[in-house]
Structure 1
Amino acid sequence: MYKWYTAFPQIVSRVGHDNPEVYTVLSSLIVYVIQEYPQQGLWLFAAVVNSQKDARSKRGRSILDKLRGAGDGNMNKLISASLSMAAELLNLCNGQLGDKSSVNMSKDFPRLFKLAPSPLIIPLQQSLTATLPPLSSTQVKDHKPFPIELPTFYKFSDEIEIMKSLAKPRKICIQGSDGHFYLFLGKPKDDLRKDAALMDFNSVINKLLKSNSESRRRQLRIRTYGVVTLNEECGFIQWVHNTVPLGELSVAKLSAELMIFRLENAQMGSIFGRIKQSPDKDAANLFVHEILPMFPPVLHEWFIEMFPEPSAWLAGRLTYSRTVAVMSMIGAILGLGDRHCENILLDMNSGDVVHVDFNCLFDKGRQLETPERVPFRLTQNMTDGLGVIGVEGVFRTACEITIQLLRDNRDCLMSVLDSFVHDPLVEWEEEHMKEQRRRQASSSSRKFDANVLPDTVNLRNLAKNALGIIGKKLKGIYTVNRTAAKEKELSTSGFVQILIQQATDEAFLAKMYPGWAPWH
């Protein structure tokens, strides 16, 4: 049954299937998986039960009714606890908190505060990810994919910290039954299904990296964290401890005061204004000779400060180089954008790079007002952390191993992303509505044109188009110029070379949005 659990997110995404016979089979599978792994299954199923789409929510509750009818008293208690917890966490996400920097859970969200202790497990990444048995194992049928003792909710900390960003995410602290404290960030008005799907995708890649001798020898991996979607617009993500955003590195060479002075200097705005109006060659020249000298690379100093012992320094820098390489290749394939300095974290204990906030997927960055032209972040500071030979050696080798692994397992990886076809994202639905309104306005002002697409836009087609571009990249097809008519498959090394060239192209970096900090 654990094999079905590994595909559970893809099965759940199809819960809205139109064919009654297919739905009957799917609902039976969902029931069986939740019966076998109720703690994990109920968390992964919460987004269906609380869906803002009536049809999905109705089917979700119908499946829970089947579980109640077939289950014992313990199952019914878990279902009730799951529904109550999800409902109160949604209230916390959607609560109007004004300009407060913190609130008390016992006062402002008393029902949530009283739900602990609870028999539900805390939705940590390690608690929700099934482990697979070794290939040589003879006890496959008896394999236990989860540890026996997983931390459950023991107590909520009273203080809820309200973050300063526009959406005002809420940071909560949960004490587990194991005595440890776990932090989560509640994100309102944010479709975390992308984050959850990407964590599933990255978990699959981690398994593939472990199974490959070359990647295993280099300990290539992606840092993942728990993501729980409560509906299409709210969810919680596990807080990543012992990390610092790339933009907040405390280094001696550029003090915080000097950074602020230079960033707020009117000269910066003037230079970027000239860059915006200049052709690529002139823009690159301005960027290299007027912007970059103001912010010399300093990441090498951070490694010396954090890892003063030589062997620890070498291990930290190798870990950094390899995690940058793996996630850069994943991001390039998936069209991951918005890789500004706050969305890339550095682990202060290991040198790991951790990426957060995956809202800008499927080349969405190319459609911004200031289009993103680089496939991933490889600025002068990122390159500075790679060592004296920069992108050559460790970084390039890790990139090529990762790309080859992705290409060798293309079908497996595309099946994970296929959930977007059957459970389209909110932004695609908004695009669908805009297109319909545009066509309605257009048809009211002129006669019908046979060459115009139908009034209804198929949401699945939007998803298939996005995944089609990913499929091409996994075949080695990367179109530098989207208007180019001819496409050809590149070798792994050629594909990586084009990506690195684009990521470090000075003209491309110069034309990036200044808030992305292309100099850092």
Structure 2
Amino acid sequence: MFSVFLSHLCIGQYSGLSKPLPEYHIKISGFDERVLVMSSLRKPKRIMIRGNNEKEFPYLVKSGEDLRMDQRIENLFLIMNSVMDADPGCRQRKLSLKTYQVISMTPRVGLIEWMRNTQPLKEFLLNTLSDEEQKYLDPKSIHAPVVQHMKWVEKVADKDNKRGFQGMFDKVYIKYSYTETVKEFRLKEGKIPWNLSRRALQRLSSSPEAFYVLRSTLLRSHSVVCICQYLLGIGDRHLSNFMVNLKTGHMVGIDFGHAFGSATQFLPVPELMPFRLTRQLTNLNMPLQVKGQMESCMRHVLRALRADSDLLLSTMDVFVKEPSLDWMNFAEKQMQAGKETDDAAQDEKWYPKQKIQFAQRKLQGDHPCHIMKDELELGHSKREAFRSMVRVLLGDKKENIRAELPAQGLSVEQQVAALIDHATDPNILGRTWGGWEPWV
């Protein structure tokens, strides 16, 4: 029974779009005896499932995590793909998300489809460094950007800092000015060769034409990833949470443990960026950078999803009916912080309803920074640096386009402009957690 269940779900033969025909489905004939144990914290295992069609299907077995969130996010991505496919502008530009199978078997065990021919974005970029560059950027080197960043953070920390990491970053927001932050951030950016992404694609390309195709695919796919992940509030977008397909150039987002704004609300050093759009990604499109292809693709995707927002919001209803364990824990944290209303306290489904309301605001054109300010307030309003964080988040009218826009009723073009300005602001990137590596 387990074998039949696994074969139908794991190999992704029940799409929900057509009547299932089990007699034609691939069945499991066995498992490879070799198991690859990953080096990450929870030691996930890669297994190889052998089908009766003489093909092998690799999957990652993860334990200790509730994969229902990842599974639901992937289902929402499939809905978004159907919306984009129905939109002429998106279809003409072949805009879609690359998805993968996630199967939550219990609240603590699940399977994730192993994506062949992919590499984490961090390895994809840093593998192009020369031996001399690698020595200089080694995390153990005193010259490495991450080491320099922590020294810069510690410089303004209180000597009797009792709040640890969180207290140090509070001082970063309070004491450092815009000019000091941007100057320091540009110095760290300058330590990294500006063209790592171009080097990486050139290594994969057999001709200038191949490089152009791979570059165009990576830029388009990352633009789609940015907008779709923003609408679902997916955070913790460090370099290891993106995979690059080495054959096609497609960008694939992975690991959705922080979704619907939890990275802003609950992380000790809150993420104040809507998505990852750092120097190596924008430099791939030199000399235009975000203008041209990236901005155009973002507009088409956002316009299509805003036009069909009812479908997305109705699909999110599953989060209300069956919240994951992580969401229940997050709800408890918010209750302890005293940030729920009286009405919410009487409604056991208040937390998922609140998160879906934020998604609804994004789809109706509210200003991204004002939405994030409300998320930040839910988790950090009692912190010493809260007002400074809000000031940095909202931007300065002299420096930022987003500071000139209204809080509500933005057009698609205005919303995308605000998002790009927000994601590329050195005053925000320069103050973030070092593990996010905003200088890459």
Query: TM tier, shorter chain?
Result: 0.7 to 0.9
**Quick check: 1:467 aligned with 2:333?**
no
Matches within 5 A, 1:130-145: 130-131=16-17, 144=19
Instruction: Letter of the 1:274 partner, please give it.
Output: W
Deviations 1:6-32 (A, max 9, x none): xxxxxxxxxxxxxxxxxxxxxxxxxxx
Is the 8 Å Cα contact of residues 128 and 200 (structure 2) preserved in structure 1? no
Instruction: Letter of the 1:266 partner, please give it.
Output: I
Report deviation, 1:173.
0.7
Distance change (3 Å), C-alpha of 1:125 and 1:362: farther
Distance change (3 Å), C-alpha of 1:387 and 1:177: farther
Say which SS state the counterpart of residue 385 (structure 1) adopts: helix
Q: Which runs of 4+ in 1 moved over 4 A?
A: 144-148, 250-253, 432-439, 451-457, 483-486
**Quick check: 1:496 aligned with 2:395?**
no
Report what 1:205 is aligned to: 80
Matches within 5 A, 1:161-240: 161-240=36-115
Partner Cα distance (2:122, 2:24) in 1? 38
**Quick check: 1:318 aligned with 2:216?**
yes
Partner Cα distance (1:437, 1:304) in 2? 52
Distance change (3 Å), C-alpha of 1:429 and 1:131: closer
Report what 1:408 is aligned to: 307
Instruction: Report the more deviating stretch, 119-128 or 294-303.
Output: 119-128
Instruction: Report the more deviating stretch, 423-432 or 259-268.
Output: 259-268
Say which SS state the counterpart of residue 168 (structure 1) adopts: coil
Distance change (3 Å), C-alpha of 1:500 and 1:423: same
Matches within 5 A, 1:338-349: 338-349=236-247
Report deviation, 1:251.
6.4
Instruction: Letter of the 1:190 partner, please give it.
Output: E
Q: Which has the higher contact order (CA 8 A, sep 6+)?
A: 2
Report what 1:380 is aligned to: 279
Say which SS state the counterpart of residue 476 (structure 1) adopts: coil
Distance change (3 Å), C-alpha of 1:438 and 1:414: closer
Instruction: Letter of the 2:257 partner, please give it.
Output: N
Report deviation, 1:339.
1.0
The percent of aligned pairs where both chains have the same amino acid is: 25
Report what 2:402 is aligned to: none
- Runs of 5+ consecutive residues of structure 1 not aligned to the other structure: 1-80, 86-117, 133-143, 440-450
Report deviation, 1:119.
7.6
Report deviation, 1:209.
1.5
Distance change (3 Å), C-alpha of 1:462 and 1:299: same
Report deviation, 1:471.
0.1
Distance change (3 Å), C-alpha of 1:503 and 1:184: same
Report what 1:255 is aligned to: 130
Is the 8 Å Cα contact of residues 295 and 519 (structure 1) preserved in structure 2? yes
Partner Cα distance (2:24, 2:15) in 1? 14
Supply the RMSD in Å over aligned alpha carbons: 2.6
Deviations 1:433-475 (A, max 9, x none): 4567788xxxxxxxxxxx9848956441000000100000000
Report deviation, 1:369.
0.9
Instruction: Letter of the 1:169 partner, please give it.
Output: P
Partner Cα distance (2:24, 2:432) in 1? 48
Say which SS state the counterpart of residue 159 (structure 1) adopts: coil
Report deviation, 1:256.
6.1
Report deviation, 1:308.
2.4
Instruction: Report the more deviating stretch, 420-429 or 452-461.
Output: 452-461
Report deviation, 1:479.
4.2
Deviations 1:101-159 (A, max 9, x none): xxxxxxxxxxxxxxxxx585253464232346xxxxxxxxxxx5679633221110112
Report what 2:119 is aligned to: 244
**The one of 132, 140, 146 aligned to 1:264:** 140
Instruction: Letter of the 1:334 partner, please give it.
Output: L
Report what 2:189 is aligned to: 292
Is the 8 Å Cα contact of residues 162 and 170 (structure 1) preserved in structure 2? yes
Say which SS state the counterpart of residue 480 (structure 1) adopts: helix
Instruction: Letter of the 1:151 partner, please give it.
Output: I
Distance change (3 Å), C-alpha of 1:370 and 1:488: same
**The one of 261, 268, 284 aligned to 1:363:** 261
Q: TM-score, normalised by structure 1?
A: 0.69
Distance change (3 Å), C-alpha of 1:307 and 1:279: same
Distance change (3 Å), C-alpha of 1:257 and 1:364: farther
Matches within 5 A, 1:4-23: none
Report what 2:180 is aligned to: 282
Report deviation, 1:353.
0.3
**The one of 230, 235, 259 aligned to 1:337:** 235
Deviations 1:355-411 (A, max 9, x none): 110111011111311111111110001112234311111111110000001100100
Deviations 1:25-66 (A, max 9, x none): xxxxxxxxxxxxxxxxxxxxxxxxxxxxxxxxxxxxxxxxxx
Distance change (3 Å), C-alpha of 1:252 and 1:488: closer
Distance change (3 Å), C-alpha of 1:148 and 1:302: farther
Is the 8 Å Cα contact of residues 215 and 401 (structure 1) preserved in structure 2? yes
Partner Cα distance (1:241, 1:355) in 2? 14
Distance change (3 Å), C-alpha of 1:311 and 1:164: same
Instruction: Report the more deviating stretch, 323-332 or 484-493.
Output: 484-493
Number of residue pairs matched by the alignment = 383
Report deviation, 1:206.
1.2
Partner Cα distance (2:333, 2:368) in 1? 28
Say which SS state the counterpart of residue 225 (structure 1) adopts: coil
- Runs of 5+ consecutive residues of structure 2 not aligned to the other structure: 154-168, 375-389, 395-405
